[in-house]
Amino acid sequence: MFRLIPRAHGRHLVLGAATALVLAGASLPIASAFGTDGHHGGGGAKITNLVVIYQENHSFDNLFGSWGPVGGQQVDGLAGATAQHRTQVAQDGTAYGCLRQVDVNLTAPPLDGWCHDPAHGVPQSAFANGPWTIDDVIGPTDTTCPAPGQSAPNGVLKGSGLPGGCTRDLVHRFYQEQYQLNGGRQNRYVTGSDAVGLTMGTYATTSLPIWTYLHSRGAPNYVVADRFFQGAFGGSFLNHQYLIAARAPVDTSGGTFGGAANSVVDANGMPNTYPLYTPVGPVKDSQLTQSCRDGSTADFAKACGNYAVNTVQPASPPFGSGAKIPLVDNATYPNIGDRLSAANVSWAWYSGGWDDAEAGHPGPLFQYHHQPFNYFAAYAPGQPGRAHLQDETKFVAAAKKGRLPTVSFVKPYGAENEHPGYASEPDGSDHLVDLIKAVQRGPQAKHTVIVVTYDEFGGQWDHVSPPGPGSSTPGTHDSFGPGTRIPALVLGAAFRHSGVDHTSYDTTSIMASIERALGLQPVSSRDAQVADLAPALRIGGVRFSR
């Protein structure tokens, strides 16, 4: 693990030179990730800072599926998808012949409806059953993006919007994703979605700004983690909670505080109606898990009761309209910020648009549920912890001046976070590159590790089964997840090599890495058991050390 070095101003992290590497064409013995390091004099960089950049709503296959080999190793992308996982099935279990579409730029017309599947209610479509490339239909500069704050449930017709190649949004919620995963079969994404065939869309990875940057002269070496899964089933709210606390918060008021309600699911575990899904009983798609049959207010093992799993608003400002939950008690349910502060470790949560939102005039694409610390009592207005919540502009300034804290979490503003529906994927990827460059060009570059990942799958298909019942993928799991595989990169100026890491991780692996590096106690059962990022660092040529 990272070694702690006492300093007058707190603590910092140390990574020593790797004692063994996995290289193309050779497999050398790897020392224990938690062994004693005696090689600091051999040129190993002292890693004093960790930067976590948290993007939005893409599955691994959707974004990184055609990444290609890295360091002579193959990324498990679209080429590795079996026919069983590629082929999507209807509610009755039969395979679709064509993919229905509802995005206005994907329907037929305007596209040629050459594919016919009347048995599944698809009289004409331009898409066969399986993954397809979004760039072939909606290009990066196409005028399909809504104006900030504009509602466009089925997208913006090409030629009538802003440039950026936006698609419509896709449902990404707690119960729907579990139905879509179908016990690791990965074959009900289309049926369980309001966006139907868009779930199978993929981007031309090698055209993405992040891919282009990492393959340009002077870019840092990097590791693709191709077994990195979202921490919990569902959407952004819950996975931001898993990033910092590895748990779903409980509505301790039982819905009386802010109107949050329990979900009702049918016999298939679904809570809603969609173009290709008809419920087989009463349903209610709400913020909390379904009620426990025995009347319990919260049963973790069964994921029932008053767990908040779909988007709710915080009790502290800034917040938007909609159901709220009471502030989370840090003494009972701590988060990684609490652990860092108690250990006198410097840290900050940097969010795009935070200063404007804090001042009472949030931008039209500021996302309140992307601010996980704001749900905790210790970070409410007027509390000392509030100082850790800062604007993204301060991150860029700190990176340029060499004043980054030990741990930085960076959350881009809505227009720059890559979220389907309201943000442009290529524009968000451009911003991601800018954030990385801010670190790489700063004086702390050689002492900083950057982790780039996404909060969740955004409703999009991936072919690798997450750890859990019915899956052959090893890894820690429980009744809340992990869910669909998501993109993840680990990189830094100190990395000597690029490569691929096939270790099973999830969102809580980031917190586990911090805890084990700094000798902090885990905050929940998930981060106590999940793999940390030591294998990725070893592939890069550095390693955790005591």
Decide if pLDDT at 6 tops 70: no
List Cα–Cα distances, 454 to 78, 90, 320, 325, 363, in angstroms. Answer: 19, 28, 23, 25, 22
List Cα–Cα distances, 218 to 104, 159, 213, 224, 437, in angstroms. Answer: 41, 38, 9, 18, 11
Contact 423, 140 (CB under 8 A): no
Decide if pLDDT at 138 tops 50: yes
What mean pLDDT do residues 491-519 have? 97
Decide if pLDDT at 28 tops 50: no
Mean confidence (pLDDT) of the chain: 91
Contact 287, 310 (CB under 8 A): yes
Decide if pLDDT at 41 tops 80: no
What mean pLDDT do residues 226-235 have? 98
Q: Is the pTM of this model over 0.85?
A: yes
Q: What is the DSSP string of 430-476?
A: HHHHHHHHHHHTSTTGGGEEEEEEES--TT---SSPPSSTT----S-
- State in Å, rounded, how far the first CA of the chain is from the last one: 6
What pLDDT score was predicted for residue 132? 98
Q: What's at 33, amino acid-wise?
A: A
Q: What is the DSSP string of 77-137?
A: -GGG--HHHHS-B-TTSPBPSB----STTTSTTTS---EEEGGGTEEEES-BSS-EEGGGT
What pLDDT score was predicted for residue 327? 98
Q: What is the DSSP string of 316-377?
A: SSS--SS-B-PPB-TTTS--HHHHHHHTT--EEEEETTHHHHHTT---TT--GGG-GGGGBG
pLDDT tens digits along 68-100? 999 999 999 999 999 999 999 999 999 999 999
Write the CB contacts of 225 (distance below 8 Å, at least 6 apart in sequence): 488, 489, 490, 501, 503, 505, 533, 536
pLDDT tens digits along 262-272? 999 999 999 99
Q: Is 157 exposed, middle or buried (0-12, 13-18, 19+ CB in 10 A)?
A: middle
Residue 40 is classified by DSSP as: G
pLDDT tens digits along 289-302? 999 999 999 999 99
Selection from 534, 532, 517, 515 nearest residue 334 by Cα: 515
CB-side neighbour CA atoms (13 Å) of 464: 34
Rounded to whole angstroms, the Cα distance separating 306 from 239 reads: 17
pLDDT tens digits along 412-439? 999 999 999 999 999 999 999 999 999 9
Selection from 138, 62, 129, 132 nearest residue 105 by Cα: 138
| Side-by-side strand order, sheet with 10-17 | 3-7, 10-17, 542-544
What pLDDT score was predicted for residue 21? 23
Q: How confident is the model at residue 383 (pLDDT cuts 50, 70, 90)?
A: very high
pLDDT tens digits along 170-191? 999 999 999 999 999 999 999 9
What pLDDT score was predicted for residue 391? 98
Write the CB contacts of 155 (distance below 8 Å, at least 6 apart in sequence): 103, 104, 105, 106, 144, 166, 167, 168
Share of the chain above pLDDT 70, in %: 91
pLDDT tens digits along 357-377? 999 999 999 999 999 999 999
List Cα–Cα distances, 129 to 120, 158, 195, 462, in angstroms. Answer: 12, 24, 15, 14
Q: What length does the chain have?
A: 546
Decide if pLDDT at 118 tops 70: yes
Decide if pLDDT at 235 tops 60: yes
What mean pLDDT do residues 141-170 have? 96
Q: Is 25 exposed, middle or buried (0-12, 13-18, 19+ CB in 10 A)?
A: exposed
**Helix axis angle, 425-440 relative to 392-401, nearest 10°?**
30
What pLDDT score was predicted for residue 544? 56
Share of the chain above pLDDT 90, in %: 90
What pLDDT score was predicted for residue 542? 80
What mean pLDDT do residues 92-111 have? 97
Both tokens assigned to 343: 């250990």
Contact 224, 488 (CB under 8 A): yes
Selection from 496, 540, 531, 484 nearest residue 512 by Cα: 531
Decide if pLDDT at 2 tops 50: no
Rounded to whole angstroms, the Cα distance separating 518 from 512 reads: 10
Rounded to whole angstroms, the Cα distance separating 441 from 277 reads: 50
Tell me if the bond preceding 318 is cis, omega within 30° of 0.
yes
Both tokens assigned to 97: 């012949």
What pLDDT score was predicted for residue 312? 98
Contact 505, 252 (CB under 8 A): no
Rounded to whole angstroms, the Cα distance separating 379 from 430 reads: 31
